[in-house]
Amino acid sequence: MVLSTLRPLLLLLAGAVVGSLITFGLLNLNRNAAVQANAAQAQPVPPKTLRAPSGNVQDEDEPGNADTVNAETQETANLQKTSDSTVRTALKIAEEKVPMRPIPKAKMVLQPNGLPVGVTQDAGISEAYQQLPGIQPPLINRDGRDMGQEAIQMLQNRQEVPYPGGIPSASATPMPFPRTVEEANRQAQGYASPLATP
Protein backbone atom coordinates (compact mmCIF):
# COMPACT_ATOMS: atom_id res chain seq x y z
CA MET A 1 0.00 0.00 0.00
CA VAL A 2 2.73 2.38 1.09
CA LEU A 3 4.90 1.23 -1.82
CA SER A 4 2.21 1.94 -4.31
CA THR A 5 1.78 5.40 -2.80
CA LEU A 6 5.53 6.22 -3.03
CA ARG A 7 6.03 4.87 -6.58
CA PRO A 8 5.24 8.16 -8.35
CA LEU A 9 7.50 10.02 -5.93
CA LEU A 10 10.39 7.61 -6.58
CA LEU A 11 9.90 7.92 -10.31
CA LEU A 12 10.00 11.70 -10.00
CA LEU A 13 13.22 11.56 -7.96
CA ALA A 14 14.83 9.14 -10.45
CA GLY A 15 13.88 11.47 -13.30
CA ALA A 16 15.38 14.42 -11.47
CA VAL A 17 18.65 12.52 -10.91
CA VAL A 18 18.86 11.50 -14.55
CA GLY A 19 18.08 15.06 -15.64
CA SER A 20 20.74 16.44 -13.32
CA LEU A 21 23.30 14.03 -14.66
CA ILE A 22 22.47 14.97 -18.26
CA THR A 23 22.61 18.69 -17.44
CA PHE A 24 25.94 18.28 -15.64
CA GLY A 25 27.32 16.30 -18.54
CA LEU A 26 26.32 18.90 -21.07
CA LEU A 27 27.73 21.77 -19.02
CA ASN A 28 30.99 19.92 -18.54
CA LEU A 29 31.22 19.29 -22.30
CA ASN A 30 30.76 22.98 -23.07
CA ARG A 31 33.41 23.92 -20.53
CA ASN A 32 35.95 21.55 -22.06
CA ALA A 33 35.21 22.93 -25.47
CA ALA A 34 35.86 26.45 -24.18
CA VAL A 35 39.15 25.38 -22.61
CA GLN A 36 40.22 23.66 -25.82
CA ALA A 37 39.30 26.72 -27.86
CA ASN A 38 41.41 28.93 -25.60
CA ALA A 39 44.26 26.45 -25.74
CA ALA A 40 44.08 26.36 -29.52
CA GLN A 41 44.20 30.13 -29.60
CA ALA A 42 47.27 30.08 -27.41
CA GLN A 43 49.07 27.46 -29.54
CA PRO A 44 48.76 28.41 -33.24
CA VAL A 45 50.27 26.43 -36.08
CA PRO A 46 53.18 26.18 -36.96
CA PRO A 47 54.73 24.19 -34.17
CA LYS A 48 56.21 25.99 -31.21
CA THR A 49 59.77 25.27 -32.00
CA LEU A 50 59.51 27.22 -35.25
CA ARG A 51 57.45 30.08 -33.90
CA ALA A 52 58.68 33.57 -34.31
CA PRO A 53 57.86 36.19 -31.70
CA SER A 54 54.29 37.39 -32.25
CA GLY A 55 51.27 38.94 -30.51
CA ASN A 56 49.94 35.50 -29.57
CA VAL A 57 52.74 35.00 -27.08
CA GLN A 58 51.69 38.08 -25.18
CA ASP A 59 48.00 37.07 -25.22
CA GLU A 60 48.89 33.90 -23.40
CA ASP A 61 50.54 35.89 -20.65
CA GLU A 62 47.41 37.90 -19.99
CA PRO A 63 45.65 37.01 -16.71
CA GLY A 64 42.26 36.37 -18.32
CA ASN A 65 43.68 33.77 -20.61
CA ALA A 66 45.82 32.18 -17.92
CA ASP A 67 42.71 31.36 -15.87
CA THR A 68 41.26 29.21 -18.62
CA VAL A 69 44.27 26.99 -19.27
CA ASN A 70 44.75 23.82 -17.32
CA ALA A 71 47.92 22.71 -15.64
CA GLU A 72 49.21 20.84 -18.67
CA THR A 73 48.78 23.87 -20.92
CA GLN A 74 50.54 26.05 -18.36
CA GLU A 75 53.53 23.72 -18.33
CA THR A 76 53.71 23.73 -22.12
CA ALA A 77 53.54 27.52 -22.11
CA ASN A 78 56.52 27.70 -19.78
CA LEU A 79 58.53 25.47 -22.09
CA GLN A 80 57.40 27.58 -25.01
CA LYS A 81 58.66 30.78 -23.37
CA THR A 82 62.12 29.32 -23.22
CA SER A 83 61.86 28.12 -26.83
CA ASP A 84 60.62 31.51 -28.05
CA SER A 85 63.46 33.24 -26.36
CA THR A 86 65.94 30.93 -28.12
CA VAL A 87 64.24 31.43 -31.46
CA ARG A 88 64.19 35.20 -30.96
CA THR A 89 67.91 35.21 -30.27
CA ALA A 90 68.64 33.00 -33.26
CA LEU A 91 66.57 35.22 -35.55
CA LYS A 92 68.31 38.32 -34.29
CA ILE A 93 71.71 36.79 -34.99
CA ALA A 94 70.57 35.65 -38.44
CA GLU A 95 69.29 39.12 -39.31
CA GLU A 96 72.63 40.60 -38.46
CA LYS A 97 74.48 38.20 -40.76
CA VAL A 98 73.93 38.83 -44.48
CA PRO A 99 74.41 36.69 -46.49
CA MET A 100 73.41 33.82 -44.20
CA ARG A 101 75.45 31.24 -46.09
CA PRO A 102 79.06 31.73 -47.07
CA ILE A 103 79.78 32.02 -50.78
CA PRO A 104 81.63 28.89 -51.89
CA LYS A 105 85.16 29.37 -53.09
CA ALA A 106 86.15 28.28 -56.58
CA LYS A 107 87.65 24.80 -56.61
CA MET A 108 90.04 23.50 -59.22
CA VAL A 109 89.00 19.92 -59.87
CA LEU A 110 91.00 17.83 -62.31
CA GLN A 111 89.62 15.30 -64.75
CA PRO A 112 91.13 11.80 -65.01
CA ASN A 113 93.23 13.03 -67.97
CA GLY A 114 94.82 15.65 -65.73
CA LEU A 115 93.08 18.63 -67.28
CA PRO A 116 90.92 20.89 -65.14
CA VAL A 117 87.17 20.35 -65.37
CA GLY A 118 85.84 22.21 -68.38
CA VAL A 119 89.08 22.10 -70.37
CA THR A 120 89.16 19.88 -73.46
CA GLN A 121 92.23 18.33 -75.10
CA ASP A 122 91.92 20.56 -78.16
CA ALA A 123 91.13 23.77 -76.28
CA GLY A 124 92.98 26.71 -77.80
CA ILE A 125 94.10 24.79 -80.89
CA SER A 126 92.96 26.02 -84.29
CA GLU A 127 94.28 26.22 -87.83
CA ALA A 128 92.91 29.73 -88.08
CA TYR A 129 96.07 31.09 -86.41
CA GLN A 130 98.07 30.16 -89.49
CA GLN A 131 96.04 32.78 -91.35
CA LEU A 132 96.48 35.36 -88.59
CA PRO A 133 100.22 35.56 -88.00
CA GLY A 134 101.17 37.38 -84.84
CA ILE A 135 97.93 36.70 -83.03
CA GLN A 136 98.35 34.53 -79.97
CA PRO A 137 95.98 31.69 -79.15
CA PRO A 138 94.23 31.83 -75.76
CA LEU A 139 95.98 30.97 -72.53
CA ILE A 140 94.53 27.64 -71.43
CA ASN A 141 94.79 26.28 -67.91
CA ARG A 142 96.09 22.75 -68.44
CA ASP A 143 97.60 22.04 -65.02
CA GLY A 144 95.03 23.38 -62.60
CA ARG A 145 97.11 26.34 -61.47
CA ASP A 146 95.60 29.59 -60.31
CA MET A 147 95.95 31.65 -63.47
CA GLY A 148 94.25 34.75 -62.05
CA GLN A 149 97.31 36.99 -62.04
CA GLU A 150 98.38 35.92 -65.54
CA ALA A 151 94.90 36.62 -66.90
CA ILE A 152 94.65 40.01 -65.21
CA GLN A 153 98.04 41.03 -66.57
CA MET A 154 96.95 39.99 -70.05
CA LEU A 155 93.86 42.17 -69.82
CA GLN A 156 95.83 45.15 -68.60
CA ASN A 157 98.46 44.83 -71.31
CA ARG A 158 96.37 46.04 -74.24
CA GLN A 159 98.23 47.41 -77.24
CA GLU A 160 97.05 48.20 -80.72
CA VAL A 161 98.95 46.31 -83.38
CA PRO A 162 98.63 46.21 -87.19
CA TYR A 163 96.06 43.72 -88.42
CA PRO A 164 97.71 40.69 -90.03
CA GLY A 165 97.68 41.18 -93.78
CA GLY A 166 96.67 44.83 -93.57
CA ILE A 167 93.29 46.48 -93.83
CA PRO A 168 91.45 48.43 -96.53
CA SER A 169 91.64 52.19 -96.35
CA ALA A 170 88.69 53.74 -94.59
CA SER A 171 88.50 56.30 -97.40
CA ALA A 172 88.64 53.75 -100.21
CA THR A 173 86.29 54.30 -103.13
CA PRO A 174 83.25 52.03 -102.85
CA MET A 175 83.41 49.12 -105.23
CA PRO A 176 80.47 47.57 -107.04
CA PHE A 177 78.82 44.84 -105.07
CA PRO A 178 80.19 41.56 -106.46
CA ARG A 179 77.84 39.42 -108.49
CA THR A 180 79.70 36.17 -108.05
CA VAL A 181 81.70 34.35 -105.41
CA GLU A 182 84.83 34.54 -107.55
CA GLU A 183 84.49 38.28 -107.93
CA ALA A 184 84.00 38.75 -104.17
CA ASN A 185 87.04 36.64 -103.31
CA ARG A 186 89.12 38.43 -105.92
CA GLN A 187 88.19 41.81 -104.43
CA ALA A 188 89.00 40.60 -100.92
CA GLN A 189 92.36 39.14 -101.90
CA GLY A 190 93.46 42.62 -102.79
CA TYR A 191 93.65 43.39 -99.08
CA ALA A 192 95.20 40.16 -98.01
CA SER A 193 98.86 39.41 -97.59
CA PRO A 194 100.23 36.10 -98.88
CA LEU A 195 100.36 34.86 -95.29
CA ALA A 196 96.68 35.51 -94.85
CA THR A 197 95.76 33.36 -97.80
CA PRO A 198 94.98 29.74 -96.84
Partner 1 sequence: MLAVLAASCLCGYRAYAGARPVIGGIPSSSFFDAKTAVGNDGMLRLIFDYNTSKFPTLTYGSGPGSALWIIDPNGSVVAAGSPTIPASVGSDVFAVALLNSTFNFLNERSNLAIFAQPSGNTTVLFYYNTGNAGLGNTNSFATWTYNSSGALIAAAGPYAFSGLQLAGLYFDPSGKIIARWRAGTSASSPNAAWVLDEFGTILNSTLFHGPFGSTFLGKIRLNSSNQQIWPFLSKNASGQYTTTIWTFDSFGILAHAQVYGPF
Considering only residues 82 through 111, tell me which ones interact with partner 1, judged by CB under 8 A.
101, 103-109
Tell me the C-alpha distance between 80 and 57, whole Å.
9
Question: In the Cβ-directed half-sphere of 64, how many Cα atoms lie within 13 Å?
Answer: 2
Tell me the C-alpha distance between 193 and 191, whole Å.
7
Count of residues binding partner 1 (CB under 8 A)?
69
134: nearest Cα among 158, 167, 165: 165
Specify the residue, 68 or 164, whose C-beta has the smaller distance to partner 1. 164
Using the rule CB under 8 A, which residue among 57, 66, 87, 132 binds partner 1?
132
CB 101 → partner 1: shortest distance, Å?
A: 7
Choose the binding region for partner 1 from 20-28, 50-58, 85-93, 148-156 (rule: CB under 8 A). Answer: 148-156
Taken as a whole, the chain contains a residue count of: 198
Residue 133 in contact with partner 1, rule: CB under 8 A: no
Choose the binding region for partner 1 from 14-22, 41-49, 75-83, 126-134 (rule: CB under 8 A). Answer: 126-134
Q: Is the dihedral of CA 127, 131, 134, 138 positive or negative?
A: negative
Residue 119's CB is within 10 A of a number of other CB atoms, namely: 18
| Site mask for partner 1 (CB under 8 A), range 154-193, x = bound | xxx-xxxxxx-x-xxxxxxxxxxxxxxx--xx-xxx-xx-
Cα 9 to its chain centre, rounded Å, is: 78
Using the rule CB under 8 A, which residue among 6, 18, 52, 139 binds partner 1?
139
Q: Is residue 54 left, alpha or beta, with left meaning phi > 0 and alpha meaning psi from -120 to 50?
A: beta
Specify the residue, 4 or 156, whose C-beta has the smaller distance to partner 1. 156
Specify the residue, 90 or 154, whose C-beta has the smaller distance to partner 1. 154
